[in-house]
Amino acid sequence: AGRDATRAFASGDFTPAGLVDNVSGLSPSELLSIHSWLSFYSHNYDPVGKLVGRFYDENGAPTEALREVEAAIEEALKFQAESEQKKQQFPPCNSEWSSATGTRFWCSRQSGGVQRDWAGVPRQLHRPGSPGSVCVCVRSTGPPWGQPDSSQHSDRGDLDNPQLRQYEGCHPLAQQCVL
């Protein structure tokens, strides 16, 4: 009566080769797209049964494959939450490039799509295990991220974070930097 083509909702491959139920090897973001799709359908439609196959047995009970996918989705949700928290701490810089002036990075109270009450200063963020760096906006006053406001801090925000590097040739507290 039905066919499970879950993988196609994540991959976008609606050819016969992509219309399968095997979701192994999908990235965390692809698993999250399946999770979103499942949430949409469970909130908007009444279930009429379960399809016997990879995820449900002939009695309608979940299989080990379903439990593995659910665990992988939980891990992807945790990773997504951690990424969002990091984006709050270190929002991406605004940037532009032109042949006349080169690359310009700058910070505002909305850069990176993160609304906040501080603009910050551009810094290179080096994450362990990741090649290269990304430009992020860093608070330059107050206590470091996640520490209560107390007189025990140096009032430098996150400028002393060991994963951050100042852009060479830019003033340490400039809200924009041209390279």
**Collapsed DSSP state (helix, strand, coil) of residue 150:** coil
Residue owning tokens 């910070």: 107
What digits encode the pLDDT tens for the residues 14-54?
A: 998 889 999 988 999 899 999 998 899 999 999 888 888 99
Structural Rg of the chain based on CA atoms: 23
Q: What is the pLDDT of residues 120-171, one digit of tens each?
A: 999 999 988 778 889 999 999 888 887 766 666 678 889 999 999 999 999 9
Q: What is the pLDDT of residue 67?
A: 94
- ∠ at Cα 42 (62, 2), nearest 5°? 60
**pLDDT at residue 108 is higher than 80:** yes
